Structure 1
Amino acid sequence: MMTPLPAPSAPSKTSIFKNRNFRKVFAAGAVSTLGTQLSALAIPLTAVGALNATPGQIGLLGALSMISFLLFGLPAGVLVDRASRRRIMIAADFGRVLVLASIPVASLLGALTLPQLYVVAFVTGTLTLLFTVASQSFLPSIVPPERLAEANANLASFREGNAIAGPVLAGLLIQLVTAPLVILLDVLSYLWSGVVIFSIRRVPEPVAAKQSMARSILDGVRYVFAHELLRPIAAAGALSNLAALVTLTMMPIYYERVLGLPTGMLGLFMGGGGVGLLLGAYTGRWLARWIGEGRVLWVFGMAIVPFAFLVPGAAPGAWQWIATGAWLVVCYQSGMTNVLLISFRQRITPGEMLGRMNAVMRFTLTGASALGAALGGAIGEFAGVRSALYVGVAVTGLVWIPYFFSPMRHLRRLP
């Protein structure tokens, strides 16, 4: 029988960073998320620049990096609920060190191939799945319920800050050295993360009752999709991720081959999205208190639609900056909803169900991302890169609908 989380008490006035374990989780994530941003640009640019990949091949590469969330996402949640989440995080970090290091090594030996990049993308994606589900489920074990929003806001703010710095830094570094060598920095970031998390002392973690894998998975799926508030969150998140990955998968090709702009300009575009994510993480809670935590999700979702249609208008000169500013506004929505909804999901879910709830969410959201990457590549291959970008922004225009037709429509406070 599942025990609900304790009721929140009055928020503490002490800094969340007084919590030693949270401080270590923050330190690990601060470095590893910067490395992840470097690889997010360096790997596709390695395929485009060093291996002359086509739009379809870039789409496949992006899909393979996320397909594990569809193949293994639900069983991963069961594993996280039955095992030590801390140990899973450590194993995932060190595994990513070994796998990603193969790219610069193969490049230096002149043996790098597209099939190798496909394998690295798939294996790294699988390890990232385990780390993501375990880390979101581990946080409530070291942070009290009433401070989860604060903890997630701090983690998100630094993550989104890295989303600004990472692409810009990656673009500059790739111009100075080769893209495969930039991936070495991500290798070092995961090594740091694994060591820091290893130094966290063991803490009590809720463990789910042993039952069949199928029954455990079904319980998690039922919990999310039978819940009147979690269901629209999953649907809207899937639409948002599908739209974002159609856009992000095609942008390296769009900037390099269609527009003929330098890599540094692509980094600035990606960095503009990071600015939006950071601003959303920092100011989203204030905006939600003003408009209403439920209402802001669809109001702002509708408001960003005109900006989304400016993104494919990027061109050398002023329009490149207009498109970057529009992407900043689109990404603001993601930064805001991430902070609001991740904490909300953690608060309302029993501890021994957290792994499965997070896994079902990741299965749905990242599965949509994998579909978006594949869809972007397919449309780019057969109808053109700009057409793929317009499909992406059209889907962005639908994200507000699940929130609007749910009980969240009028909520001033999420329960």
Structure 2
Amino acid sequence: MTTGPEDAGGGAGAGAGPLWRDRRFGRYWVGQGISQFGDRITDLALPLIAVTTLHASAPTVGLLTAAVWAPNLLSLIVGTWVDHHERKRRLLVAADLLRCGVLLSLPLAHWLGVVTIGQLFAVALLAGLGQVLYQTAYPSFFVALVRRDQYVEANSLLSTTRSFSFVAGPAAAGGLIQLLTAPVAMLVDAVTFAVSAVLIGGVRVQDPPVDRDGAPPLLRRAREGMALVLRHPYLRVSLGFATTVNFFSFVVAAVLVLYASRHLGLSAGVIGLALGIGASGGLLGAVLARRVTRVVGVGRTIMLGGVLFSAPVALLPLGDGPLWVRAGVLGLVEFVSGLGVMWLDVPLNALQTAVIPDQVRSRVAGAFSSVNYGVRPLGAVLGGFLGDWIGIAPTLWVGAAGGTLAVLWLVGSPIGRTRTIEELDGVADSVRGDLLPAHGS
């Protein structure tokens, strides 16, 4: 097995004790958690600005959701460029600062009285571009920060923080939006990105070496990265599964806030509270992820998570009656879906990290994200127009059915048969020898 940074003594917690006590990992963990908390404000505030302030239609809200994810279509090119950038940590900091500056424009425009739908689209696109830069630089940074045997533990801790942000974030976001208005509340998210940049900037890691000698042009390397994903026995199946889930989850995401606001008649504060309470399922799922994978295996946990994430959405149109029933159904659906998404994400992220060769991590992440995240805007656009054509409730049922059926990708696949991450130890070396081009960079 190739000696990577995690095997060379560079990983966090290189010794006894839980990973969360490691100072370097803890610094990154706190920074990630703070920015995730701020993201929950934007998740709720951006569509609410469009719906309540600018009176946008369902197709417009769908297009706005699509704009956030549209930059992911560039992930393959960005990731290929990132692969040959020596300092991945600096790129993470740059991505945080870009998003901070972009989000600051909304409260400023609000104070000047010039918020427009055009500005919302510009903010969505530029913030999305910052996210693409971050997610393509992150994989190499991650394997320099933690050891292979810590992958599931690290992903579980990071996902726990993300899940907690979905518990506390929406409720706080709803309160802030009602108190300060949605554009001003986004100032808080901008500040969280600034704090994250400072904390991540102080994390010292040994970056994997970058060999530029004899490297082919960027576009050729990008094609090789995509070809690797499509030929890789684990990544190909993982891509089909995750892409299908993402597509249909964004059919739902495009109309969820609109449905809760207009059809359920919930205020911003109640929507935030219901989503926050429901998201405690994600927190519970992240905490239990390691234990569940040990009991039922990595592959079966991923399959179970895929079903639990998508299927409950079909219950949303049942929300009728008193306020507590309408808010309760929204919260219950979010709870079960949150539990499912963590049982999907935590083991799947660990599995992907284990089977990708070190020297192409950002390129592969970019190729994967170009398709996996690139379909999100398509799903959001479809969801917005379906909501207008066939109604919000049927659109939610379409999203629930499509996402649930995505699990068929995993039936009989190598992922479905995987029980532990440790049994994948030789996969990355095998892929490097069989699927990577001779120049290897």
TM-score, reference length from structure 1: 0.93
- Cα contact 1:65–1:125 (8 A) shared by 2: yes
Pick the aligned partner of 1:347 from 354, 358, 361. Answer: 354
Determine whether 1:282 maps to 2:287: yes
Determine if contact 2:302/2:345 at 8 Å carries over to the other structure: no
On the 8 A contact 2:292/2:301 being kept in 1, the answer is yes
Structure-2 separation of matches of 1:404 and 1:118: 39
Q: Indicate whether 1:212 and 2:198 are aligned.
A: no
Q: Percent identity?
A: 31
Deviation of 1:300 after TM superposition, in Å, equals 4.9
Q: What letter corresponds to residue 311 of structure 1 in structure 2?
A: L
Distance in 2 separating the partners of 1:319 and 1:257: 12
Q: 1:264 corresponds to which residue?
A: 269
Q: Secondary structure at the match of 2:405?
A: coil
1:386-401 equivalent positions in 2, closer than 5 A: 386-401=393-408
Q: Which amino acid aligns with 1:73?
A: S
What is the aligned partner in structure 1 of residue 71 from structure 2? 68
Contact kept in structure 2, 1:4 and 1:351, CA below 8 Å:
no
Larger mean CA deviation between 7-16 and 114-123 belongs to 7-16
Counterpart for residue 84 of structure 2:
82
Q: Residue 32 of structure 2: which of 24, 29, 41 is its match?
A: 29
Deviations 1:15-55 (A, max 9, x none): 32343322221121111110011111011101111111111
**Contact in 2 for aligned 1:46/1:179 (Cα 8 Å):** yes
Gaps of 5+ in 2: 425-441
Would the alpha carbon gap of residues 326 and 281 (structure 1) be closer, same or farther in structure 2, given more than 3 Å must change? same
1:26-175 pair list within 5 angstroms: 26-70=29-73, 72-83=74-85, 84-175=87-178
Q: In the superposition, relative to structure 1, how do residues 407 and 148 fare at CA in structure 2: closer, same or farther (>3 Å)?
A: closer
In structure 1, the gaps of 5 or more residues are none
- What RMSD in Å do the two structures reach over aligned CA positions? 2.3
Equivalent residue pairs, number: 413
Instruction: State the SS of the aligned residue for 2:193.
Output: helix
TM-superposed deviation, 1:327:
2.9
Determine the structure 2 residue equivalent to 1:239.
Answer: 244
CA deviations on 1:35-76 (whole Å, 9 max, x unpaired) are: 011111011101111111111111111101100001x11011
CA deviation profile, 1:259-306 (whole Å, cap 9, x unmatched): 212122221332245222222211122122222221233345446665
Match of 1:185 in 2: 188
Q: Where does residue 435 of structure 2 map in the other structure?
A: none
Which of 253, 257, 264 aligns to 1:252? It is 257
d(CA) in 1 for partners of 2:338 and 2:205?
A: 36
Q: How far apart in 2 are the matches of 1:107 and 1:236? A: 41
Q: Please tell me whether the aligned partners of residues 140 and 208 of structure 2 are also in contact (alpha carbons under 8 angstroms).
A: no
CA distance in structure 2 between the aligned counterparts of 1:391 and 1:208, rounded to whole angstroms: 47
Q: CA deviation at 1:167?
A: 1.0
Give 1:183 shift. Answer: 0.1
Matched, 1:376 2:383: yes
Counterpart secondary structure, 1:398: helix
Higher mean displacement: 400-409 or 119-128: 400-409
The 8 Å contact of residues 72 and 129 in structure 2, kept in 1 or not, is answered as: yes
TM-score (norm 2): 0.88
